Amino acid sequence: MQVLKGHVWKVGQDVDTDLIIAARYLNQSDPTYLAKHCLEDIFPKLNEKIKKGDILVAGKNFGCGSSREHAPLAIKHAGFSCVVAENYARIFYRNAINIGLPVIVSPETVKMTAAGDRLEVDLIKGIIRNITTEQTYQSETLPPFMMEILEKGGLIPYVSEKVKADV
Amino acid sequence: MGMTITEKILAEHAGLKEVVAGQLINARLDLVFANDITGPLAIKEFKKIGVTSVFDQSKVLMIPDHFAPAKDIPSAQQCLEIKRFAAEQELVHYYEVGRCGIEHCFIPEQGLVVPGDVVIGADSHTCTYGALGAFSTGVGSTDLAVGMARGEIWFRVPESIKIILHGKPKNRWVSGKDYILAIIGKIGVDGAQYKTMEFAGEAIDDLSVAARLTMTNMAIEAGAKNGIIAPDEKTISYVKERAQKAWRIYQSDDDAVYERIVEIDVTDLQPQVAFPHLPSNTKPVSEATDVKIDQAVIGSCTNGRWEDLLEAAEIMKGHKVHPEVRAIVIPGTQDIYLRAVKEGLMETFIEAGAVVSTPTCGPCLGGYMGILAKGERAVSTTNRNFVGRMGHPQSEVYLSGPAVAAASAILGRIGTPEEVAQCKY
């Protein structure tokens, strides 16, 4: 999971959690069901068009609004390998790390990347390469404990190891 | 070095003498709760951790309010999941429909949160309780699962922004909702991203506890981690009547460090309206009076309290809801509902031609009980006006306080109580 590759889907700024997954679908929490409706008011039938590993590129304040973890779950299970944004709303950011969805901060990438470009993201080094335009960007790397959570596959596997260690 | 209220509460709960903004800490939790939307996911994750019971049965709470009373079969399943979990875990605080209400109205009303607490809830509007001088913040279901299991969670101590409101508003209808909309309009939907919004000043001192809860409720709409108001006599008398546990009052030190200070004079502030599709698109009501509406909603965790209903009833009394408008009134809790029955507010609403619903989040997040069709517009005392928030992606929500929402219901367009007074119907 450390080097991710995919085509870019691009959205604007302040994309809220209602746009990521509308509340009309929150009467269920099955990730496959949520994935079918991911971002559907922006990209109708996204789930039929997306290729596994594609990358979501977004403007500032991505994921603002509700605390619904259904939002990063829908993105992850729709097939996106990661999100690259100018910055994130805090609950979304924390939820994404907790469920094992890499979220990268790189305003430069967002500015210089177009929909359909092919990106390669090295999570450990924080290097993002736009294969289409042959440009390379350095993003902020995650703090070590967040990287460890991602490597374990999310907060639950990370915490359950600690619980076992306590016993 | 001096500390803010938020820093003091977090330091105490982390077992530290002091903390500074940016520091990573583990804080002890006084209350951990979820609802019918976020609870089922949290329970699923909780069961994977490897513990058999929650850290403290009296500090974990489940409440069905979003799509409850259940709007459809899948929602009924979700409500059942939290009910079963509460029974299995023998939680002290599980509340069935009919004995609760909207979580952020109900929890403070029942004294389940007190000044000095650290609270996490799997709902973004958990920041509401800062009005009582508690640190409270919204989290996702996985963080909540870990909180239920461990009774603590990691936080990055947030930088604080002090927002000082000066003056007394000349317009008698201007209140907490107008203040918070004006603030979000000024600083933007990410103006306090990851930070604390600490509200202070003469105009805050003059607000009721209900109106303060409205303000901290919407701190999340500026991206804040929490909103907070120093407790005063009003806070203490509110808490004294209902607290189910001991509380602790914190005040910010005079030399506490703030990242930024925002000052607003509210003397000439008009009632505010946030236009679609962001809470920061605020304008004074005088610039919104040509907006025709199909629906007016008065309720939610933002404005479903007694004072809000009282204000709406005062404006609607003796008038009729505009023939082309649906007016929907939703008391925040059963206690508020009962008081509204006893004190005649229900009669006023029903005689005016409004419907009154059982307490529920319902239409605020496009669940049920007032969903908008394509092209329809609502004025609403709720907290978000995102695309599709109350229904069809091509519907529109205009956010306001209860006075403007009630007046608009009568006028058929966004307007003011002064205009209703001139109205013959």
Predicted confidence at residue A167, as pLDDT, reads: 66
Indicate the CATH number of B273-421 among 2.60.120.260, 3.50.50.60, 3.30.499.10, 3.40.50.2300: 3.30.499.10
Query: Chain A: nearest CA to B225, how far in angstroms?
Result: 7
Q: Is A120 left (phi over 0), alpha (psi -120 to 50) or beta?
A: beta
Query: Chain B: nearest CA to A152, how far in angstroms?
Result: 13
Residue B423 has pLDDT above 60, yes or no: yes
Collapsed DSSP state (helix, strand, coil) of residue B149: helix
Q: Across residues A5-22, what is the average pLDDT?
A: 97
| Residue in B138, B145, B389 closest to A156 by CB | B145
Which chain A residues contact residue B122 at CB under 8 A?
Answer: 67, 69
pLDDT tens-digit series, residues B358-407:
999 999 999 999 999 999 999 999 999 999 999 999 999 999 999 999 99
DSSP designation for A23: G
The dihedral built from the CA positions of residue B277, B119, B340 and B70, taken in this order, carries a sign that is: positive
Residue A1 has pLDDT above 70, yes or no: no
A150 in B contact zone (CB under 8 Å):
no
Which residue ranges make up each domain of chain B?
A: 5-263, 273-421
**CA atoms of B108 and B93, how far apart (whole Å):** 13
Indicate yes or no: CB of B49 within 8 angstroms of CB of A98. no
Q: Across residues A63-79, what is the average pLDDT?
A: 97
Which chain A residues contact residue B124 at CB under 8 A?
Answer: 65-67, 91
| Chain A residue with minimum CA distance to B391 | A24
Residue B187 has pLDDT above 60, yes or no: yes
How does residue A163 score in pLDDT terms, banded at 50, 70 and 90?
A: confident
Which chain A residues contact residue B45 at CB under 8 A?
Answer: 156
Can you name the CATH fold of A3-166? Answer: Aconitase; domain 4 (3.20.19)
Query: Chain A: nearest CA to B196, how far in angstroms?
Result: 12
| Chain A residue with minimum CA distance to B194 | A90
| Residue in B141, B142, B194 closest to A90 by CB | B194
Tokens of B192: 């306090």
Tokens of A83: 């999100």
Which chain B residues contact residue A95 at CB under 8 A?
Answer: 139-143
Residue B58 has pLDDT above 90, yes or no: yes
The DSSP bridge pattern shows strands A118-122 and A103-105 to be unpaired
A19 contacts A42 by C-beta, under 8 angstroms: yes
pLDDT tens-digit series, residues B76-126:
999 999 999 999 999 999 999 999 999 999 999 999 999 999 999 999 999
| Residue in B123, B126, B225 closest to A90 by CB | B225
Note whether B5-263 and B273-421 share their fold: yes
Indicate yes or no: CB of A14 within 8 angstroms of CB of B388. no
For B279-316, letters b (16+ CB in 10 Å) and e give bbbbbbbeebeebebbbbbbbbbbbbbbbbbbbbbebb
| Residue in A41, A67, A163 closest to B393 by CB | A41
Indicate yes or no: CB of B142 within 8 angstroms of CB of A18. no
Which residue ranges make up each domain of chain A?
A: 3-166
Indicate the CATH number of B5-263 among 3.40.225.10, 1.20.1090.10, 3.30.450.20, 3.30.499.10: 3.30.499.10
Q: Across residues A126-154, what is the average pLDDT?
A: 92
| Residue in B123, B384, B386 closest to A67 by CB | B123
Predicted confidence at residue A143, as pLDDT, reads: 83
A15 in B contact zone (CB under 8 Å):
no
- Least Cα distance to B353 among B377, B382, B319, B379 occurs for B319
How does residue B1 score in pLDDT terms, banded at 50, 70 and 90?
A: confident
Phi, psi of B120, rounded to the nearest 5 degrees: -120, 145
pLDDT tens-digit series, residues B151-169:
999 999 999 999 999 999 9
The chain-wide mean pLDDT, for chain A, equals 95
Predicted confidence at residue B397, as pLDDT, reads: 98
Indicate yes or no: CB of B45 within 8 angstroms of CB of A156. yes
Query: Chain B: nearest CA to A132, how far in angstroms?
Result: 32
Indicate yes or no: CB of B193 within 8 angstroms of CB of A87. yes
| Residue in A19, A72, A159 closest to B49 by CB | A159
- The amino acid at residue A58 is A
Query: Chain B: nearest CA to A17, how far in angstroms?
Result: 9
B94 contacts B83 by C-beta, under 8 angstroms: yes
Indicate yes or no: CB of B41 within 8 angstroms of CB of A70. yes
| Residue in A19, A41, A69 closest to B142 by CB | A69
Indicate yes or no: CB of B384 within 8 angstroms of CB of A65. yes
pLDDT tens-digit series, residues B11-57:
999 999 999 999 999 999 999 999 999 999 999 999 999 999 999 99
The chain-wide mean pLDDT, for chain B, equals 97
pLDDT over 70, % of chain A: 99
| Chain A residue with minimum CA distance to B49 | A160
- Enter the ipTM: 0.95
Which chain A residues contact residue B128 at CB under 8 A?
Answer: none
Q: Kindly report the number of other CB atoms within 10 A of residue B373's CB atom.
A: 11
Strands (E), B286-340: 295-298, 326-329
